[in-house]
Amino acid sequence: MLEATPIWTARAVLGEGPLWSKRLGRVFFVDIRGSRILSCDLAGEAQTEWGMEHRPCWIIETSHTDRFLVGLERSIVVARLIPGEPAEILHRLPDELPEGMRLNDAKAGPDGQVYFGSMDDAEAEASGHFLILAGDGRISRLDQGYTVTNGPAVSPDGRTLYHTDSPARTIYAFDRSQDASLTGKRVFIRFTEADGYPDGMTCDAEGGLWVCHWDGGRVTRFLADGTRDRAIALPVSRVTSCAFAGPGLDQLVITTAAYQRDAEPLAGALFVVTPGIQGLAAHPAAFTG
């Protein structure tokens, strides 16, 4: 089992959604419960953070150098993030979630359309939806009945999309069409109690799916047929999300959560590991405000 190394003991209350920006040479991630966006280089240096008025739930790069699409609690915004300067909200989509709901986890597909989820903020009701944001700002519903939506990930050929309902311990696979629509929903992986809960995830260039284990202390790589291939051990239990990083996309950065884990000194840290497999570059969002 591989082991990850902490590069920033940021003590994120709920670290999530790591993003590697090749053009900026930086990792970005969110601390949902800490209401901040954080960033550093792959050595854990040049650390910076932006305090946000509302909880940031995910962050995606756009085609503009300093503009990011951010899922901000109950709405989606375009924000300018420059180290050393306050975050600037440039545009806000008019669609907002109802009270008691919040956004959770997102990824852009090959065409720049953004797949994202909503969830019951109390994590009690299966009232969450799986949604898509088009380049013109339109939002459409793809699926429903989720308690905690998590980890959309797209296969290298763009034909399969993976999505998770964490409390159900289930990862689903969908057939993805060229128009970004989804069909053929099916169970891909079911976690056991010993596995914890499936959280954020990402695909590598060979089609493997790397899944983070909330309350499981590791990241597991699954092959396209669902076989467990290898795992990465972490010295914390609440492992939340991962993304490939570095000029060669040969590093895996991993976010974690310090929430209710006071006895774990490294909980909430950002970790990195060399997994021996090349990853995929994150697609930018087509919507720029």
Domains and CATH numbers, the chain: 2-273 (2.120.10.30)
pTM equals 0.97
Q: Is 153 exposed, middle or buried (0-12, 13-18, 19+ CB in 10 A)?
A: buried
CB-based contacts of 195, cutoff 8 Å, min separation 6: 169, 213, 216, 220
The pLDDT of residue 58: 98
Q: Is 80 exposed, middle or buried (0-12, 13-18, 19+ CB in 10 A)?
A: middle
The pLDDT of residue 1: 82
Q: Give the tokens for residue 221.
A: 């790589």
The pLDDT of residue 194: 96
204 part of the active site:
no
Question: pLDDT tens across 23-45, in order?
Answer: 999 999 999 999 999 999 999 99
Write out the binding residues: 16, 102, 104, 150, 199
Which residues of the chain are under the pLDDT cut of 50?
A: none
Instruction: Specify the amino acid at residue 74.
Output: R
- C-alpha to C-alpha distances, 240 to 140, 197, 218, 235, 269, nearest whole angstrom: 26, 10, 9, 13, 11
- Please state, rounded to an integer, the average pLDDT across all residues of the chain: 97
Write out the binding residues for a divalent metal cation: 16, 150, 199
Catalytic residue among 105, 199, 229, 262: 199
